Amino acid sequence: MKLWGGRFSKSTDALVDDFNSSIRFDSRMYRQDILGSIAHAKMLGKCGIIPQKDSDLIQKTLKEILEDIENGRVEFEIDAEDIHMNIEKILISRIGDAGKKLHTGRSRNDQVALDIRMYLKDEINTIIDMLKDLQRTIIVISENNLDTILPGYTHLQRAQPITLAHHVMAYFQMFARDIERLKDCYKRTNVLPLGSGALAGTTYPIDREMVAQELGFDRISENSLDAVSDRDFAIELASCISIIMMHLSRFSEELILWSSHEFSFVEMDDAYSTGSSIMPQKKNPDVAELVRGKTGRVYGSLTSLLVTMKSLPLAYNKDMQEDKEAIFDAVDTVKMCLPVFTKMLATMKINKQNMYEAARGGFTNATDVADYLVKKGIPFRSAHEIVGRMVSYCIKNSKGIDQLSMDEFKLFSPQIEEDIYEEISLEKCVSGRKLPGGPARESVMASIEKAKQLLDE
């Protein structure tokens, strides 16, 4: 008989049991469910709501059940529906009527809200740690490539020369924002819903603040209706993870392009590449491609959560059982992607000479020619027009700007002198941009030092 079956005169159909059950996916919250129940039982005993001896026995037995689960000695049952009922059923089977007192003053509605908050708090911290590992790898690559020049792009067209250090540190900043978002999401997840009951709280004199302190929550929820029906924190986390995956996907896309023969900027390590079943020459960046592909999967989880919640009246509705698979899958996916992406990045070979040669093409120093003319007293818009004509001339004559003779330079402006060759060298184009946030060596080194401090905080 179901623990809630007193009102029913007929057993649930086996198909309904299977359809209704969530134990297949919510069993992963067993630890959080048991820890929440231990704190609840402890509070019930301290407040005199149940006898202290029963409270002590419940706590002791729940700890034993936790140990048994972790040692593979417990098998969950589908007809017990979910992790909450499974554990309570095991508890009652072991200690009888004393176990039936555990659920005093709570509902599965506030219980599941507690469990998923506790579970996601742990996962948020895990994801943050993974992001920091990735950031440390980025810093290592940056420190080793402070002088590695490559073209920066806009519209996927060569634009201006920068360094690889500057380029990858842009991703450090993206992941830093991701960590900020996760920490902020943690604040709203770290609210105790237990004590809200099914929707209207309880008449028992429970101590919610005590339970919050026992379980490490910053505060308790302020409205029982909202507490049991709120899944904003799960949606927010799915959004945070979606943005993380978007950043990983952008990074992956660049690495996929860079590892192509057309770019040949990087080569993935054999351990993080795959081959073709028919073309023996192939070395495919499948890790990066899978990360890019799994991004869409996470977006789907976010959309699923939003659509599930969009029309639900207060308070709890069974639809909300659908929240778990979506958020669990989003969490699992980003946790799968981050470590393998980090190792792929750490082991890739960087072809510095190919990067440099690419930066020499595409007139990446054209803006610096215009800036040179401005320094000679020519208005920027006039300088822009002059350099445009200069580039057109170079294209027709298959030359780079730095390959023009002084006589050719004079065709476009009499103000141009011999010093232009030094001023528009790739090295000078990069080193001249030493403003905070720029690509010059000293600017990137300062950025790296700030990044290290951020990681140490």
Residues labelled catalytic: 155, 276
- From CA 97, how far away is CA 91, in angstroms rounded? 10
289's CB contacts (< 8 A; 6+ apart) are 252, 256
Q: Which of 290, 294, 282 is nearest to 255 (CA)?
A: 290
Distance CA 444, CA 143 (A): 9
Nearest of 7, 238, 223 to residue 110 by alpha carbon: 223
Give the β-pairing of 349-350 and 266-267.
antiparallel
d(CA 442, CA 452): 15
Return the DSSP state at 100: G
Tokens representing 132 are 């920091």
Q: Could you tell me whether strands 219-220 and 191-192 are parallel, antiparallel, or unpaired per DSSP bridges?
A: parallel
Sort 14 into a burial class: Cβ within 10 Å, 0-12 / 13-18 / 19+.
exposed
Helix (H, G, I), strand (E, B) or coil at 224: helix
Measure the CA–CA gap between 378 and 375, rounded to whole angstroms.
7
Eight-state DSSP code of residue 418: T
Count Cβ atoms below 10 Å from residue 40 Cβ, excluding itself: 29
Contacts 24+ apart (CB under 8 A), 33-37: 33/83, 33/84, 33/87, 33/111, 33/115, 34/62, 34/63, 34/65, 34/66, 34/69, 34/87, 35/66, 35/118, 35/215, 36/111, 36/114, 36/115, 36/118, 36/194, 36/215, 37/62, 37/87, 37/88, 37/102
CA distances from 408 to 85, 393, 418 (A): 84, 10, 12
